[in-house]
Structure 1
């Protein structure tokens, strides 16, 4: 069993291996405190994952009784080298690419599971448009409806990642805005604007489209999607 020690004003001892954490809990009744972020449940503080942080007394007990050895993480006491920073960036990019593929696959599976409902909705829309024009609605198969939805899955990239903006203490308050970083000279289609606005609605937040101009100044555009009920309330407030 190996415990890593992080150099700080007060030394912290961490245990990383799952089997060792379970052994401490079952055999030695040492619980410790989980400090890590769960990959499946990020951005929350109720459930944490590895590593397990040990009190000084707990670490002393384990060392005294030869249950473990202590390794000092001296690399954390100084700034990272260029090589270590490049290695970290490479690992980060590889992890992001793996997550991107998994997210896209999950979206495709969701569309396939809801194929019948998607087909029903698209046929209803086509029938409505055909009734207005007086023409017969075009034929539509399940495969065509599903393929169309799959092609509309937005591509996940680091450039369009969402950044939460808090107007108060993040521990006490939810974020009020989500910032979407865009290139300065990039063009937004109406479809992309609708996508960004609806994303904000789904998480009950407002959108800031942010960019950096040629003078290196940050500029942004405020965007909010109003449904019929909220738009009516907004108009009544203005009156």
Structure 2
């Protein structure tokens, strides 16, 4: 689609991330929260380097769906709406079951919290009454409060919490995630030719990406940091990037201004700037790191 490759299926997205360290970038809106941009969903768009790597590894196949370029028919719209409603209801039920297990496993802590709340409430009432001289603080009232707090009905409290879970319905603002692409017709899929890398610059980018990927790193696009790639020691959800990789041909000269810019950029974002280039015969990737030292 417009020269970009997308992954539409959640199972495929999860497998690529967990088994092949392919991160991509989620660009879709959430079904029930389409106007926010804090959390994005499927589809996932892949870097061209990721696409080429997956094709070389024979992990994926590249197809196009001509139907996606046309306005959906009424039947497709109806099918999609039914699918979305069914999927959302399934997710609501899964959420209810998970929440139920959480409540039952934490009921002792919930009861203890209820007791502390009752004791604090009784203490506040006695304090207000004393300050307004409308009542006199006595030991019997304090003991009554402690007795009420110690006799919290655990079963009644559990039923109350479970009733709250039952009130979750289709109008709740839960995040809906599509887990499939059932509205796409597999018979409509046609093989799509892929020609990347096609230039010397693309070849350098791809070989750099592949080499770092084979070394066990996670990689994402580095445009927002002025680099070609960001390199992570683990899943980007759990780790910050360690390196900013800039691909430069070995014959390309860097000015002093460019070196200073890259050095200060790496220091400002607390990452090591790495310059990558190909060897003379183009068979291997060479790296050079930049470190910014400040002297007074």
- The TM-score, its normalising length taken from structure 2, stands at 0.35
Normalising by structure 1, we get a TM-score of 0.42
Rg larger in structure:
2
1 or 2, which has the higher strand percentage? 1
Higher normalized contact order (CA 8 Å, seq sep 6+, divided by chain length) = 2
